[in-house]
């Protein structure tokens, strides 16, 4: 007597779980907020202190060699955006910078990843550093000139600590995006790859 041939069964894989436990999510969120705030405060403080020293000790448009001609301090007042771009539109950049700062503050509670917290801290600190100049420096509120003083040989623009922080945040953004790191700290690329591998193994 022949027994009916059994059909192969397909095992249903459980959905991938998040690396952040639900119970610890509030703690992770608070830690991310603390990291964001600390990075932003440090960037802002260093930027403003450096600008204070520049204004008090350097003469405008005179070069001071730091590492030969490769790195120099060259004090200028910039009416434009980062790296002295867009001069003459200071009030527009002040509005944009204000909007960016408000967006980061509102968006910050969603962040769970410490790397993303560092990114937004760099962006917020750099943004506020230049925004402070635009709001409170001469020639007036909203149209103040940003203090730039770092000049690199062969680099076409003069910049400051805030500009460096903003650019660093963009670099971190590219790295996190390429690696597939989400705001909650999970890696979407790795998760998809693991799911595909598990499915392939089960079928075979």
**CB-based contact 147:51 (threshold 8 Å):** yes
Please say if the pLDDT value at position 201 is more than 90: no
- Over the stretch 83-130, which tens digit does the pLDDT of each residue have? 555 666 678 888 999 999 999 999 999 999 999 999 999 999 999 999
CB atoms within 10 A of CB 196: 10
Structurally, the chain folds into a number of domains equal to 1
- Over the stretch 4-14, which tens digit does the pLDDT of each residue have? 555 555 555 55
5 within a domain of the structure (yes/no): no
pLDDT score at 18: 47
- The span from the CA of 170 to the CA of 15, in Å, is 33
**In sequence order, what are the residues at sequence separation of 6 or more whose Cβ sits closer than 8 angstroms to the Cβ of residue 155?**
none
34 within a domain of the structure (yes/no): yes
- Over the stretch 117-149, which tens digit does the pLDDT of each residue have? 999 999 999 999 999 999 999 988 988 999 999
136 within a domain of the structure (yes/no): yes
> Closest Cα partner for 166 from 135, 132, 128, 134?
128
User: Residue 128 belongs to what domain range?
Assistant: 26-203
Q: Quick one: CA dihedral 156, 177, 168, 47, positive or negative?
A: positive
- Just list the catalytic residues: 148, 163
pLDDT score at 93: 84
What percent of the chain is modeled with pLDDT above 90? 63
2 within a domain of the structure (yes/no): no
- The span from the CA of 185 to the CA of 119, in Å, is 13
15 within a domain of the structure (yes/no): no
Supply the angle between the helices 161-179 and 25-57 in degrees, to the nearest 10. 150
1 within a domain of the structure (yes/no): no
Q: Which runs of E-coded beta strand occur in the chain? A: 63-67, 71-78, 146-152, 158-159
pTM of the model: 0.78
12 within a domain of the structure (yes/no): no
CB atoms within 10 A of CB 169: 21
7 within a domain of the structure (yes/no): no
């Amino acid at each position: 007597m022949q027994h009916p041939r059994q059909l192969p069964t397909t095992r249903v894989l459980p959905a991938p779980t998040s690396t952040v436990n639900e119970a610890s999510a509030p703690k992770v969120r608070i830690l991310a907020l603390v990291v964001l705030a600390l990075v932003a405060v440090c960037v802002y403080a260093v930027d403003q202190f450096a600008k204070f020293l520049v204004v008090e000790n350097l003469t405008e448009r005179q070069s001071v060699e730091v590492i030969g001609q490769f790195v120099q301090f060259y004090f200028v007042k910039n009416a434009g955006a980062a790296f002295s771009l867009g001069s003459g539109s200071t009030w527009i950049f002040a509005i944009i910078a204000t909007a960016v700062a408000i967006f980061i503050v509102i968006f910050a509670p969603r962040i769970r990843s410490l790397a993303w917290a560092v990114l937004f801290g760099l962006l917020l600190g750099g943004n506020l550093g230049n925004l402070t100049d635009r709001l409170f420096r001469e020639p007036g509120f909203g149209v103040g000139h940003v203090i730039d003083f770092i000049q690199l040989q062969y680099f076409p623009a003069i910049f400051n600590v805030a500009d460096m922080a903003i650019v660093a945040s963009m670099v971190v953004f590219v790295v996190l995006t390429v690696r597939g790191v989400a705001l909650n700290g999970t890696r979407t690329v790795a998760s998809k790859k693991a799911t595909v591998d598990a499915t392939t193994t089960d079928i075979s």
